[in-house]
């Protein structure tokens, strides 16, 4: 039979025998919202278990909007929030947009699009811009971005996703550890894991939820990705609505199968300019969870992502095992992505079709492909083949038909 997979703005069709295809079981495939900005307006007016956000605001309030850099169409999604806050007669000079460190590349776009409000990129190393919040039940002193702590109302716009530290990123994770001090952000990387999140929250996420509670009542706008550059769901409400975001994320992007494939073809679809090294690594980690040991992974993309310090460590290492040791010893902003990439390379042979130069691809423990036609030859030799479109958004796991999701392993 003929099967297809999208990657970047392109599409690849493959001829594969029916009996060799591994079928993934979905909860309900992610839909596509026709108007995500209108969906944001709706959840601000009618959030879960809460009146319209503007009813909690006064003209004298200082409102800080935390924006996750992974948001699809982030400028279009922020605009309805600014309009809503302005409808409560909050002046532009009393509104700030706060971005985590990785968003600094988007700063120019934000400042140009929203010149009437203050835009700040969090610097975890600048003690002057940090403020003591409280001490957690486990005795950790929490230092967060001063603007976030001092805000009369904090609005968090974040993409819900799967995360190797928190289990689930977004919402409370966009506050902590994203807006914490440098030492805490690095310490959190000790929790890196390829385990599958279960019903019990991972320790890092439990702590993040406590920090959100200590901040008072942050208003959360959760974005669930759709295919490619689309948005599937928007949820609004206080921190206790986080589980609804997790439920929708799992329904849309968690897939299971009872057969372990020897070849996984994974892809990143949509605008290649938005795809990062972290997206590549997330896709590889997704495939590595289900591929047979010493199997093969093919990653399809049209991107040439910028390589940060963690990626450069991979290029310097002789093998994935050594790379993992180096990554854990020299923590950096892209440590989590480097960990996922090296872990996948330890488990399987990786073939990469992308716009990265072949030399760089080889130094990242991959075999570069010259064109999409080469993927057919790999597919034809597979005993069991799995296709994972938008693998960077997906969590794949091996679960027998009558079984249940596995519990996470805390590391």
User: How confident is the model at residue 407, as a pLDDT?
Assistant: 40
- Asked if the domains at 2-22+259-398 and 36-250 fall in one CATH topology, the answer is no
User: How confident is the model at residue 71, as a pLDDT?
Assistant: 81
Query: Hey, how many other C-beta atoms are within 10 angstroms of the C-beta on 216?
Result: 13
> Which residue ranges of the chain lie beneath pLDDT 70?
102-113, 402-411
User: How confident is the model at residue 259, as a pLDDT?
Assistant: 92
pLDDT digits 0-9 by tens, 261-315: 999 999 999 999 989 999 999 999 999 999 999 999 999 999 999 999 999 999 9
Q: What are the contacts of 14-22 at 24+ separation with CB within 8 A?
A: 14/265, 14/375, 14/376, 14/379, 15/376, 15/379, 15/380, 16/379, 16/380, 16/382, 16/385, 20/382, 20/383, 20/384, 20/385, 21/385, 21/386, 21/387, 22/257, 22/259, 22/261, 22/384, 22/385, 22/386
User: How confident is the model at residue 106, as a pLDDT?
Assistant: 56
Distance in Å from the first CA to the final CA of the chain:
42
User: How confident is the model at residue 74, as a pLDDT?
Assistant: 78
Three-state secondary structure call for residue 204? helix
User: How confident is the model at residue 263, as a pLDDT?
Assistant: 98
User: How confident is the model at residue 358, as a pLDDT?
Assistant: 96
User: How confident is the model at residue 73, as a pLDDT?
Assistant: 74
- Domain boundaries along the sequence of the chain: 2-22+259-398, 36-250
CATH architecture of 36-250: 3-Layer(aba) Sandwich (3.40)
User: How confident is the model at residue 360, as a pLDDT?
Assistant: 96
pTM of the model: 0.92
User: How confident is the model at residue 410, as a pLDDT?
Assistant: 39
User: How confident is the model at residue 411, as a pLDDT?
Assistant: 38
- Which 8-state DSSP code applies to residue 173? G
User: How confident is the model at residue 405, as a pLDDT?
Assistant: 45
- CB-based burial of residue 372 (10 Å sphere; 0-12 exposed, 13-18 middle, 19+ buried)? middle
What's the CATH number of domain 2-22+259-398, 3.40.50.970, 3.40.50.1220, 3.90.226.30, 3.40.50.720?
Answer: 3.90.226.30
């Amino acid at each position: 039979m003929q099967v297809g997979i999208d990657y970047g703005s392109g599409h690849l069709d493959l001829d594969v025998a029916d009996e060799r295809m591994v079928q993934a079981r979905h909860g309900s495939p992610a839909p596509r919202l026709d108007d995500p900005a209108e969906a944001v307006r709706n959840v601000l007016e009618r959030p879960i278990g809460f009146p319209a956000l503007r009813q909690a605001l006064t003209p004298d309030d200082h409102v800080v909007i935390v924006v996750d850099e992974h948001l699809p169409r982030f400028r279009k999604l922020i605009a309805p929030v600014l309009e809503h806050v302005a409808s409560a007669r909050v002046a532009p000079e009393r509104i700030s947009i706060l971005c985590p460190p990785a968003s600094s590349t988007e700063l120019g776009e934000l400042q140009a699009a929203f010149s009437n409000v203050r835009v700040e990129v969090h610097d975890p190393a600048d003690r002057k811009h940090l403020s003591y919040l409280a001490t957690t039940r486990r005795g950790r002193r929490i230092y967060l971005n001063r603007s976030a702590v001092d805000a009369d109302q904090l609005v968090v716009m974040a993409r819900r996703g799967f995360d190797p530290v928190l289990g689930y990123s977004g919402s409370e994770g966009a506050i902590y550890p994203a807006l914490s001090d440098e030492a805490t952000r690095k310490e959190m990387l000790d929790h890196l894991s390829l385990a599958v999140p279960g019903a019990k929250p991972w320790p890092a996420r439990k702590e993040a939820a406590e920090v959100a509670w200590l901040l008072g009542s942050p208003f959360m706008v959760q974005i669930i990705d759709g295919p490619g550059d689309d948005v599937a769901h928007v949820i609004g409400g206080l921190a206790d609505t986080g589980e609804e975001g997790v439920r929708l994320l799992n329904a849309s992007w968690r897939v299971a199968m009872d057969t372990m494939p020897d070849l996984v073809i994974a892809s990143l679809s949509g605008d290649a300019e938005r795809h990062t090294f972290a997206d590549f690594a997330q896709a590889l980690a997704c495939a590595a969870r289900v591929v047979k040991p010493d199997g093969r992974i093919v990653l399809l993309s049209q991107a040439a992502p910028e390589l940060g310090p963690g990626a450069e460590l991979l290029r310097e290492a002789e093998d994935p095992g050594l790379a993992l040791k180096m990554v854990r010893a020299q923590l950096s902003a892209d440590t989590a992505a480097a960990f996922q990439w090296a872990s996948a390379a330890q488990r399987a042979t990786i073939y990469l079709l992308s716009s990265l130069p072949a030399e760089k691809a080889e130094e990242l423990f991959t075999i570069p492909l010259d064109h999409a036609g080469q993927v057919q030859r790999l597919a034809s030799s597979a005993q069991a083949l799995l296709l994972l479109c938008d693998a960077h958004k997906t969590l794949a796991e091996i679960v027998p038909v009558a079984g249940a999701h596995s519990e996470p392993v805390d590391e």
